[in-house]
A and B are shown apart, each in its own frame.
Chain A
């Protein structure tokens, strides 16, 4: 346990030894680097941009290049100067990192992602009740009070937080201010409520490849990048060179399967020529392709896509529609 009044003391101690990231109000709530706990906000539902950007930055230099004496010098970038602590990650987003781990560690390891992942300790914050109107993690088997995927989980109990430490790295952090923590009375751990399970969407969607629903949906969809950029499990990226052939940098930038040019080839042929194919790709990926590859649905129910869709398209409505229309 830690008293609420002592939380900032602990975080300030943490900030001395680590690069501390946490929720700040920068126009909207975002996870950003802070020097002290005064910059943090504690009364927030979740960040607009998910914390994936700390591991897969929207714009990341992979290496610099320059032409020199008839050859080319490549200088890899990336890596962390100091170990980082991310405070305030929600359980849905923590789960999303476990999913991204599958993508970036399977087969060939992505060192850029992995170095940031290994070098970051996660302090989770269990979700307040009631959840946001767009939240539905419990329908996908995620517990909004679960310490899964974080090193330390704090659960708000009024004037104090219940502290669950799940890893050695978490112990280290708590050890920085051992004096602030005290043992908890038994039975204080809250139980998360389970929502109506929507997990059968994964079994149903496969039958709907030809269904008219995707066209219906795509008519409303503008093809912008909000749902994908704000999705904690979307990981598509582009590689792009900036500079000249004499010197420059190669960047990795977020990209979106909702954009028409995402799959358009150099000659102009596009295997996903209209919004219908692109919308279908997104939901098949979440509910069919991702589970086929990694054994788990590619959605964590954070609800950001529903909350921020410019046209009010709601992923739960889509899931329910798929369940209603699809056959096993």
Chain B
């Protein structure tokens, strides 16, 4: 698959079809790949692919706003949802992006991998297993043991037209649990306990903004958290400030979060952000029967108005009772 990808990219670059290509390259150690920008045909050997490529490269399409040319990138099925949303949000023009779909067979959770093995040199997906190379030994591990949490609710855009695909783009199907189970578990708690849960999580926040900066959807020219006049939020990290930060961001994700899970992956202090955004996703789905990133034609619920919002009016009835 790597070889096929390299050939496509080489061709695209040599024909002048794109200015550069965004892909994955080897990182500083076997467990870390890193994004790379390929500008010339001879650089394509740097491109790699493995279950250790978590980055949603669509985030780098923000940089396209200043240019006029075309850009190519490789996406996993889940990442393609970001492209759908960027097109919807008028951040990119679909025709300026050459999208190479790569059939992902699940991504590895580094923490789980490190707990299970030391000195891992490579990981490869094979059917229902990951092949983990440690020294001369190759361990075959059931995927379920090492998968990233988000891969259990793997879901692709239904109608995405890739420019190239390196195989069949079909979602992984794993686990029988509802994808909102972790949200529902919290919802069952009394409100005080829920509040205490999130307070404890947010208290740890160091407001490095990695969760915002890695988010494909955070493309505002001026982020509300950086506005000087009015200043909505100071750099102070009191529990209230941190909570304000996370709740405002959660609201801004309404109808936009594609559950790429990157925010949670990059949080250095381990805040379970996916749970927060999953809650937002669940509400949107229940109220508006809408899921972000599936089809370019779908109108985001917060920019449309229906005189009869069935889900909303039934809520109102409930609250009036």
Verify A310–B213 contact, CB threshold 8 A.
yes
What residue of chain B has the Cβ atom nearest to residue A48's Cβ? Answer: B268
Q: Which of A112-120, A197-205, A220-228 contacts B (4 or more CB under 8 A)?
A: A220-228
Q: Are B236 and A26 in contact (CB under 8 A)?
A: no
- Residues of B in contact with A, size category: 35 or more
Q: In the complex, which of the residues B55, B236, B270 has the most CB atoms of chain A within 10 Å of its own CB atom?
A: B236
Q: Verify if B187 is at the interface (C-beta below 8 Å from A).
A: no
Are A59 and B236 neighbours in the complex by a CB distance under 8 Å?
yes
Residue among A28, A224, A242, A314 making CB contact with B270, cutoff 8 Å: A28
Digitize A291-318: 1 where CB-to-B-CB distance is under 8 Å, 0 elsewhere: 0000000000000001010111110110
Which residues of A lie under 8 Å from residue B269 when comparing CB positions? 27-28, 30, 48-49
B interface footprint on A218-250 (CB within 8 Å = 1, 0 otherwise): 011011111001100000001010100000000
- Known A310-B214, A311-B35, A311-B55; judge A224-B208 contact (CB<8 A): yes
Please give the distance in Å from B244's CB to the nearest CB on chain A: 13
CA distance A255 to B206 in the complex (A): 11
Decide if B29 touches A253 in the complex (CB within 8 Å): no
Q: How far is the CB of B74 from chain A (nearest CB, A)?
A: 15
- Asked if A240 and B234 make an inter-chain contact with CB atoms under 8 angstroms apart, the answer reads yes
Give the residues in chain B near A171, CB-CB below 8 Å: none
A226 in contact with B208 (CB, 8 Å)? yes
From A49, A251, A314, give the contact of B32 (CB < 8 A). A314
Nearest-neighbour CB distance to chain A for B19, whole angstroms, equals 12
CB-based contact B27/A312 at 8 Å: yes
Q: Do residues A222 and B237 form an inter-chain contact, with CB atoms below 8 A?
A: no
Q: Which of A224, A260, A316 contacts B214 (CB 8 A)?
A: A224
Look across to chain B and name the residue whose beta carbon is closest to the beta carbon of A228: B208
In the docked arrangement, what's the CA distance between A256 and B210, Å? 12
Interface residue from A28, A59, A133, A238 paired with B29 (Cβ < 8 Å): A133
A-B contact count (CB 8 A): 107
Enumerate B205-238 residues with CB–CB distance to A below 8 Å: 206-210, 212-214, 226, 234-238
A269 to B29, CA, bound (A): 39
The 8 Å CB contact of B35, one of A59, A238, A240, A312, is: A312
A263 interface residue (CB < 8 Å to B): no
Which residue from chain A places its CB closest to the CB of B29 in the assembled complex? A133
Report the minimal beta-carbon distance from B121 to chain A, rounded to whole angstroms: 12
Pairwise interchain contact A242-B234, C-beta atoms closer than 8 A: yes
CB closest residue in chain A, given B208:
A225
A222-B214 contact given A26-B204, A49-B269, CB 8 Å threshold? yes
Nearest to B52 among chain A residues (CB) is A312
B73 → chain A closest CB, angstroms: 13
Check B236 against A312 for contact (C-beta < 8 Å). Answer: no
A36 on the interface (CB 8 Å rule)?
no
Identify the closest chain A residue to B272 (Cβ).
A27
Q: Which of B245-290 contact A (CB under 8 A)?
A: 262, 265-266, 268-271
Interface membership of chain B positions 17-35, coded 1 if the CB is closer than 8 angstroms to chain A and 0 otherwise: 0000000000111011111
On whether A28 and B214 interact (CB within 8 A), knowing A219-B37, A240-B236, the answer reads no
What is the CA–CA distance of A306 and B213 in the complex, to the nearest angstrom?
17
Residue of A nearest to B60 (CB): A219
User: With A240-B236, A242-B236 in contact, do A229 and B35 touch (Cβ < 8 Å)?
Assistant: no
Which B residue sits closest to A220, measured CB to CB? B35
CB distance from B193 to the nearest CB of A (A): 17
